[in-house]
Amino acid sequence: MKREQSEQLYKQALEHIVGGVNSPSRSFKAVGGGAPVFMNKAKGAYFWDVDGNQYIDYLAAYGPIITGHAHPHITKAIQTAAENGTLYGTPTELEITLAKMLKQAIPSMDKVRFVNSGTEAVMTTIRVARAYTGRTKIIKFAGCYHGHSDLVLVAAGSGPSTLGIPDSAGIPNTIAQEVITVPFNDINALKQALERWGEETAAVMIEPIVGNFGMVMPREGYLEQLCQLTRQYGALVIYDEVISAFRFHYGGAQTYGAFPSAEAIEPDLTAMGKIIGGGLPIGAYGGRKHIMEQVAPLGPAYQAGTMAGNPASISAGIACLEVLKQPGTYEHLDRLGAMLEAGIEAASKLAGIPMTVNRICGALSTHFCDHPVTNYEEAKDTDGEQFAQFFRLMLNQGINLAPSKFEAWFLTTEHTVQDVERTIHAAEASLKEIARR
Ligand code: PMP
C-alpha cells in the first residue's frame, strides 16, 4: 500500500506543527516511527487517506465516533446548529435537553456542567472535590489516563504507597506530592494508601472500567470496596467515565448491568466526554446537588468556559445519544465484538503467537502476552515489538488501529459482519507473517 502523499504531508507538518501532530498519540512513535497516515475522508466504518487508500476504522477517534463517521442524523444536527449560529455566550434550551438525557441515564448526577474536553471535566471534578472536602490530596490508579492537567499527569513513586513523581516536565514536585498512585484492582494497596493519607485525601479518582491500558474490568467487588473505603475516610469517589460513558450500554459504567448493585458503586462525581459530543469537542461533569453547588456562580469553586455548552457540540451530542438509544444498538456492538474476539483468538492460536484479548461489548484490546491483563503492570509486560509489527501489517491490509499497544479497538454501529470478517482475515495473515519472521 503506497502512502507517498502522507509522507509528503508529514514532512510539511513537521515544519509547522510541533512533532507534526496535534496530539502525541497520533504519532507513530510507539510503533517504530515514520509518517502517520493522513486521512481526508471518513464515512461510516471507513477512512480514506490522501493517497486514496481505504481502511476499516477501529480507532473511532479514540472513542467518540461510536455511531460511525459522518452519521447522517448527527451531521444534520450540526448543520442546523451551524445555520442557527455556532456560539452564543448565552444559555440555550439545547443544554437543558442534553443535561436531562445524561441525568436520566446516569442518576448519580443531580446537576451537570458542560465543558470542552475530558481533560477539563476531570480537572474540575478535582477542584470541586477539594473545595467540598477542604483537603488537597488525590489518589489515582497506575495506567489510568485522566487527561493532561497537572495533577493527573503524575506517576507512581517507587512503591505502591509513595507519593507521586511528575510524568511530564513542567509539573512542579509540589503538585506531584499531592497525588498518590496505586495499582488498579488491588484493594489492599488502596487500603494502605488511605491508612496513611486518608485524612488528607479529597478524592479517589478511577476509570470504573479501564480503557487506557487496554480494556480492563474491575475485579468482582472491587468498586464496592473502593467506594466503601474511600467514604470511611470522608473522601469523595470520582469516576472518570470519559471513555466508558455510553460505551457498553446506554448509561455509564456505574449503571452497567455487569455490576450487581449500581447503588453500592455510585460515585460522588463523574467526568465525561467523547461520545456525549457526537464527534465535536465536549466534556461534562456532574454529581450530587450539595457537592455540585460548590461550583460558581453558586459556590466558591470557579470554573468557566467561552465555548462551554456551544450549540454545535450540544446538538451533536443529543443526536448521538438519540442514535444510541435505538433498540439493538449495543446488541449489535456486542455481537460484532464477540465475533472479532473469537476470530483474533483463533488466529493467534493458529499462528502460535500468544495473545490476550480483553473485550467489553464493542470495545476490545489485544495484548501480545500469555498472561491475563488486569492491571497496568501486566499491560506493560506485553510484547511491544510484536504489537508494532501487527499494527503495520494490519494497516497495510486496510485495517486502521490505534498506534499504541495500550489503546483499545472500538467498533461502531456502522461496522458490519463483512467488515469484521475482513478484519479477522487480515489478523490471520498478519499473525502468520509475524510467526514466520
Ligand atoms: N479521561 C479518560 C479516561 C480518557 O481516556 C481521556 C482521553 N483519552 C481523557 C480523560 C481526556 O479527554 P480529552 O482528550 O477529551 O481531554
Give the span between the Cα atoms of 254 and 331, in whole angstroms.
Answer: 19
Phi, psi of 400 (to 5 degrees): -95, 110
Q: Read off the CATH number of the domain in which 182 is found.
A: 3.40.640.10
Residue nearest atom 7 in ligand 1 by C-alpha distance: 147
Asked if the structure places residue 348 within a domain, the reply is: yes
pLDDT for position 163? 74
Exactly one of 10, 145, 256, 330 is catalytic; which is it? 145
C-alpha of 254 from chain center? 15
For the chain, the domain total comes to: 2
User: Among the listed ranges 92-96, 168-172, 190-194, which one has the minimum average pLDDT value?
Assistant: 168-172
pLDDT for position 162? 61
**Residues 6 or more apart whose Cβ sits within 8 Å of residue 158:** none
Last residue of a domain, one of 283, 305, 325: 325
Residue nearest atom 13 in ligand 1 by C-alpha distance: 118
**Peptide bond connecting 372 to the previous residue in cis, omega within 30 degrees of 0:** no
Same domain membership, residue 315 and residue 243 = yes
Same domain membership, residue 376 and residue 251 = no
Same domain membership, residue 214 and residue 91 = yes
pLDDT digits (tens, 9 = 90+) for 299-343: 999 999 999 999 999 999 999 999 999 999 999 999 999 999 999
pLDDT for position 158? 61
Asked if the structure places residue 105 within a domain, the reply is: yes
Mean pLDDT of 426-437: 97
Same domain membership, residue 188 and residue 302 = yes
Residue range(s) defining the domain that contains residue 182: 72-325
Mean per-residue pLDDT over the chain, rounded? 96
Per-residue pLDDT band at 155 (split at 50, 70, 90):
confident
- Asked if pLDDT for residue 160 goes beyond 70, the answer is no
Same domain membership, residue 196 and residue 126 = yes
pLDDT for position 398? 98
The reply to whether 145 belongs to the active site is: yes
Cα-to-centroid distance, 282 and ligand 1 (Å): 11
Atom nearest to 241 CA in ligand 1: 3
Asked if the structure places residue 10 within a domain, the reply is: no
Exactly one of 240, 268, 383, 419 is catalytic; which is it? 240
Q: Given ligand 1 and candidates 59, 66, 114, 119, which is best to mutate, with the most ligand atoms within 8 Å of its CB?
A: 119
Same domain membership, residue 296 and residue 166 = yes
Same domain membership, residue 222 and residue 171 = yes
Same domain membership, residue 401 and residue 307 = no
Cα-to-centroid distance, 154 and ligand 1 (Å): 15
**Strand 236-240 and strand 201-206: pairing?**
parallel
CA distances to 9, 17, 40, 269, 283 from 21, rounded to whole Å, are 11, 6, 15, 32, 22
The reply to whether 43 belongs to the active site is: no
Asked if the structure places residue 437 within a domain, the reply is: no
Atom nearest to 273 CA in ligand 1: 15
Atom nearest to 244 CA in ligand 1: 3
Cα-to-centroid distance, 71 and ligand 1 (Å): 22
Same domain membership, residue 424 and residue 316 = no
pLDDT digits (tens, 9 = 90+) for 78-101: 999 999 999 999 999 999 999 999
Phi, psi of 405 (to 5 degrees): -70, -10
Give the span between the Cα atoms of 167 and 198, in whole angstroms.
Answer: 23
Same domain membership, residue 399 and residue 370 = yes
Last residue of a domain, one of 265, 292, 325: 325
pLDDT for position 19? 96
Last residue of a domain, one of 325, 357, 388: 325
Cite the DSSP H helix spans in 352-401: 376-380, 384-396
pLDDT digits (tens, 9 = 90+) for 11-68: 999 999 999 999 999 999 999 999 999 999 999 999 999 999 999 999 999 999 999 9
- Ligand 1 — pocket residues by CB below 6 A? 62, 117-119, 122, 145-147, 207, 211-212, 240, 242-243, 273
- Comparing C-alpha atoms, which of 160, 365, 149, 132 is closest to residue 268? 132
Asked if the structure places residue 30 within a domain, the reply is: no
Asked if the structure places residue 283 within a domain, the reply is: yes
Give the span between the Cα atoms of 127 and 113, in whole angstroms.
Answer: 14
As separate numbers, helices (DSSP H) first and strands (DSSP E) second, the chain gives: 13, 16
Same domain membership, residue 183 and residue 47 = no
Same domain membership, residue 314 and residue 341 = no
Asked if the structure places residue 21 within a domain, the reply is: no
- Comparing C-alpha atoms, which of 173, 288, 302 is closest to residue 237? 288
Residue nearest atom 5 in ligand 1 by C-alpha distance: 243
Atom nearest to 122 CA in ligand 1: 10
